[in-house]
Amino acid sequence: MGIDPGSRITGYGIIDLDGPRARHVASGCIQTASDRPAPERLKTIFEAVAALIETYHPTEAAVEQVFMHRNPDSAIKLGQARGAALCAVVMAGLPVSEYAARAIKQAVVGNGAADKLQVQHMVKLLLDLSEAPPTDAADALAAAICHGHTRQTRQRLGAAAALAGRRR
């Protein structure tokens, strides 16, 4: 499950990595009412992420790393939304992996400096979707795809190490 938290819109994307190719399971956006107080909006994010986990039973989660926001005014708000989404994930017992934005773009587009449109386009192609998902959902799916690549590489390395161990 990839998550792209935001104070107004939190994107999510769930993919199945068991087959030879990543398969799209579900994706979309969690919207919070901008006229409601922060605690209520955080509750909406927490509950929605918890409900998605209960529905689709993802086993691992991936989010984009954020160190510093371009807009300092909204950094607190973004952090709060991330805190709510991450809490729902860790309270459900899922391990969370964080990836730099560059690493996610590199994994999905093959270019760490790709723009949002390219990410949307490649997510559509890689998951064989009939149309490109909205940007927040696409970013969440991209984080999930990036996690899939990393996981596969790790498994191959693990298998190679085990093989080397047996040969020794």
Cα–Cα distances in angstroms (integers) from residue 96 to residues 17, 93, 137, 147, 160, in the given order: 16, 9, 18, 10, 25
What distance in Å separates the CA atoms of residue 7 and residue 12, rounded to the nearest whole number?
Answer: 14
The answer to whether residue 73 forms part of the interface with a copy of itself (CB under 8 A) is yes
Number of neighbouring beta carbons within 10 Å of residue 77: 17
Taken as a whole, the chain contains a residue count of: 168
Q: Which is nearer to a copy of itself, 96 or 129 (CB)?
A: 96
CB of 68 to a copy of itself, least distance (A): 6
Cα–Cα–Cα angle for 3, 17, 118, rounded to 5 degrees:
55
CB of 116 to a copy of itself, least distance (A): 20
Q: Three-state SS string across 25-62, please?
A: EEEEEEECCCCCCHHHHHHHHHHHHHHHHHHHCCCCEE
The answer to whether residue 51 forms part of the interface with a copy of itself (CB under 8 A) is no
The answer to whether residue 86 forms part of the interface with a copy of itself (CB under 8 A) is yes
The answer to whether residue 35 forms part of the interface with a copy of itself (CB under 8 A) is no
Q: Which is nearer to a copy of itself, 35 or 131 (CB)?
A: 35
Please identify, among the stretches 19-27, 41-49, 130-138, 143-151, the one whose residues bind a copy of itself according to the rule CB under 8 A: 41-49
Kindly list the catalytic residues: 4, 64, 136
Find the binder of a copy of itself among 39, 110, 112, 158 (CB under 8 A): 39
The answer to whether residue 75 forms part of the interface with a copy of itself (CB under 8 A) is yes
Cα–Cα distances in angstroms (integers) from residue 4 to residues 63, 125, 161, in the given order: 6, 20, 34
Please identify, among the stretches 43-51, 107-115, 129-137, 139-147, the one whose residues bind a copy of itself according to the rule CB under 8 A: 43-51
Q: Which residues bind a copy of itself (CB under 8 A)?
A: 37-40, 42-43, 46-47, 66-69, 72-73, 75-84, 86-91, 96, 98
